[in-house]
A and B are shown apart, each in its own frame.
Chain A
């Protein structure tokens, strides 16, 4: 896998592992692109410094304590793993169900999914005081620990996402291989989200987590927030001229998003009603849940309901659903809602200890915030550079002889700025 000259004759394009890496696009990128990269690098560096502080000074720099054994990193793990679901939904829709309107989005979706799972796993590693002990986790796994399953599923899923991206870009194996890869990735994704939900649901000592509905809620929240984030990413890419999508694709995404949101909200209400139903309510259970509706956690949990219902209300109107401002607002609201939901979900279990002792609400320390921002910036950096140097736009004959290629151009047009022979400047100066 050595770097070779590109098949496309253009300065700065190098062929490596069968992909034409357009490094020339970085050289010719404008100052605004590099300014944005600089901001991301600053936050990545701050994250690294935070990690150094954690490794050198120990867990005293974290707000995680005996009663809050999982902190921001775990809510982010759930969040990022969930967000990655959007990528697979789009990818599977194209290659498994023939939803050709999403084909132009497929590469971006898979890249986003892979990057999200990557930063989720990095969050896991940076939470360890002695990360080198991960070795023992790998070589001597405890089969009764659900972390073994979710951790391995996340690692495998990340590899699958990047392999899928490689298959899509290189066109190796054609549509047939892409179809087979989807058949492998789809059960893996369900396995990943299910085992992530089980990390919470299998804790019998934390009754707010110990519910079977946790798994379907995870799947719907993940799908909804993932699709919402993908829609935002698609709009951003379109804004900077990387893609130009047809409005019909966004309409399809919006319809799908609103459907999943209402299922997600329904499951949440089902759980709340089960907790509070007069003849079924267990006082300890309702007491704990009340922290989140009227107590010290309400400021975090009530926005989940408000933003969720608001998001659905925005997308429910058939006359306004096609408007970009409505779609973007609803998507942004739901992405924020699910972040808060993950945060409160993590807090829920720890709100009272296993002895019934009340805990003050958890607020992350500076080091935890820096790790969070650093990893987020690193992921964005990965995406920003990837979108620049990787051929993200699917050519008209992307996957060989199978169906679909002819339809790609119906829903997306390759903007001249991204055609290799023309100016590769895409991010900074457009819009």
Chain B
């Protein structure tokens, strides 16, 4: 049975039309395999793994060359005048440059660097959530624990919130964050920032002294009775 089938198949392959069909099929399969195996071009190759704000790194507009001492070879802008960004909520951080310098380091010395809680710096493509941690430490802890933003595990602070107006959040918050998503206003009214307070310290439990004394007496009496019962039983 199997032999006759093979013979029939062999006869078919001698047919030129069948050969053409087989050739086309083989080419299509090989092309498909080749396409599947080929490396996918990284459309977002310049984005960081978490994607925050990599679309406008500072060095894109301000190419920086550092000298041997690690300082910029060319003079850099000394203020943030041309970086006009509308701040909502974060305008509470100060007037003019003062609001910017609350998170961004002085562009004259550390272009594009953001200030971390310990005073060190991080690039805008780095872990910017830790910048937010400086003020929003409670939220940061909750986010780190997965309680805040729990359904966006790979998203960091700027992945969900517009970093300049954090009361606006992106509808599509999942990475890669492109920074161009549709934003919605998450806070209905402008509210000044107040960090979430820690859990309230519960007032101490007030146990009446007389109750403690009576309880101790009751416990001792009961223990005595039970002991007598057990000892008496053993003797019996």
Q: Contact residues of A with B, CB < 8 Å?
A: 32, 35-36, 38-39, 42-43, 45-46, 49-50, 53, 57, 60-63, 65-67, 282-287, 352-353, 355-359, 365-367, 370
Contact = CB atoms under 8 A, between A and B. Distances in A.
Interface centre among A39, A43, A353 (most CB of B within 10 A): A39
Interface string B147-158: 110110100000
Contacts of A285: 146, 150
B208 to A, nearest CB: 5
| Nearest 10 pairs of A and B residues by beta carbon | A283-B146, A284-B150, A357-B199, A65-B202, A356-B147, A284-B147, A356-B142, A60-B206, A365-B205, A287-B145
B218 to A, nearest CB: 5
Given A67-B199, A353-B199, A32 B232 contact: yes
Interface stretch (B75-83, B180-188, B222-230): B222-230
A366 B151 CA distance: 41
Contacts of B218: 42-43, 45-46
B196 interface: yes
B214 interface: yes
Contacts of A287: 145-147
B211 interface: yes
Given A32-B232, A42-B222, A57-B206, A367 B211 contact: yes
Given A39-B222, A53-B207, 8 more contacts: A32-B232, A61-B207, A61-B208, A282-B146, A353-B199, A355-B196, A356-B145, A366-B212
A119 B18 CA distance: 86
B13 interface: no
Contacts of B39: none
21 contacts: A32-B232, A36-B229, A38-B225, A39-B222, A39-B225, A39-B226, A45-B218, A46-B215, A53-B207, A60-B203, A63-B202, A65-B203, A66-B200, A66-B202, A67-B200, A283-B150, A284-B146, A285-B150, A286-B146, A352-B147, A353-B199
Contacts of A365: 205, 207
Contact of A366 (B196, B198, B207): B207
A35 B221 CA distance: 11
Contacts of B228: 35
A53 B208 CA distance: 7
Contacts of A355: 196
A49 B225 CA distance: 21
Contacts of A356: 138, 142, 145, 147-148, 196
B146 to A, nearest CB: 2
A61 B206 CA distance: 5
Contacts of A283: 145-147, 150, 153
A52 B202 CA distance: 23
Interface of B: 138, 142, 145-148, 150-151, 153, 196, 198-200, 202-203, 205-208, 211-212, 214-215, 218, 221-222, 225-226, 228-229, 232-233
Contacts of B211: 49-50, 53, 366-367, 370
A65 B151 CA distance: 30
A93 B69 CA distance: 87
A364 to B, nearest CB: 9
B142 to A, nearest CB: 4
Contact of B151 (A32, A282, A357): A282
A50 B151 CA distance: 46
A274 to B, nearest CB: 15
A61 B222 CA distance: 24
Contacts of B215: 46, 49-50, 366, 370
Contacts of A46: 214-215, 218
A60 B145 contact: no
B229 A35 contact: yes
Nearest to A38: B225
B235 to A, nearest CB: 12
Contacts of B151: 282
Contacts of B232: 32
Nearest to B226: A39
A128 B205 CA distance: 17
B69 to A, nearest CB: 43
Contacts of A35: 225, 228-229
A279 to B, nearest CB: 11
Chain A CB count within 10 A is highest, among B151, B222, B232, for: B222
A61 B215 CA distance: 14
Given A287-B147, A356-B142, A366-B215, A32 B207 contact: no
Contacts of B225: 35, 38-39
A357 B146 contact: no
B92 to A, nearest CB: 22
A285 B150 CA distance: 8
Nearest to B146: A283
B102 to A, nearest CB: 25
Contacts of A57: 206, 208
